[in-house]
Structure 1
Amino acid sequence: MADTMQFDLVSPERRLASVPANLVQIPGADGDMTAMPDHAPTITTLRPGLLRVEGPDGQSEYVVTGGFAEIGAGAITVLAEKAIPVNEVTRAHLDELIADARAAHDAAKDSTDANSIVDDAAKLLADMEALGDHMSL
């Protein structure tokens, strides 16, 4: 079993990480998952939450709002809709994310589309508010 795997985190704005990792905790849409070297190949969507990376150089945490994670042979690549290192997150960042989620929820309620869109928007809003509570911001 390999000791580390390559971890890459990219958002539309920038590449946030490209480091060796021993463990990556991913906020998957179907629940949190932990990936370690030699993990079975998997692709999952992300929900808003904290993505944590442990490696030889220490631990890093990132707030992600959604996207995809691909676990492959010796590597994990995360393509995030938005990603911010936890040490850079301010209350203003979180308020903006919550306001965006609230606007999406309000727009979904006002649309004539199926109820599942409203449910998805409500879940996004709840996840963003829970993230703020978890981070004590």
Structure 2
Amino acid sequence: PIFYRLFLFPGESAQNEATSYHQKHMIMTLLASFLYSAHLPERLAPGRFDYIGHSHQLFHVCVILATHMQMEAILLDKTLRKEWLLATSKPFSFSQIAGAILLCIIFSLSNIIYFSAALYRIPKPELHKKET
């Protein structure tokens, strides 16, 4: 929804104070994934970033900053778009909420059953037999 709002539907609703936070969130997320997958900067200077500045540490810093930007954007969106959302959205009915909860329960139980059954299909390791 955010990509759609910011890039495919650039209108008045997309251009507000929260837009810059959404963009910063996306940039920090992309930077985090790039630094971690490229193993920068330790690839450029092996051994120099073993304790401070390792890509995994930079990944965590970028993800924390991205989460902060995302939360700020959500709070601003909630504040700035509250009247519009209340005017254009109708509340969910009880059956819609119950259906969503039921789907989540069915999906969760099917995952539990599938992966539990997969555990029983794993061959048991042979125990080392003592030779006499």
Write 1 or 2 for the structure with the bigger share of strand: 1
Higher Cα Rg, which structure: 2
TM-score > 0.5 by shorter chain? no
Write 1 or 2 for the structure with the bigger share of helix: 2
TM-score by length of 2: 0.29
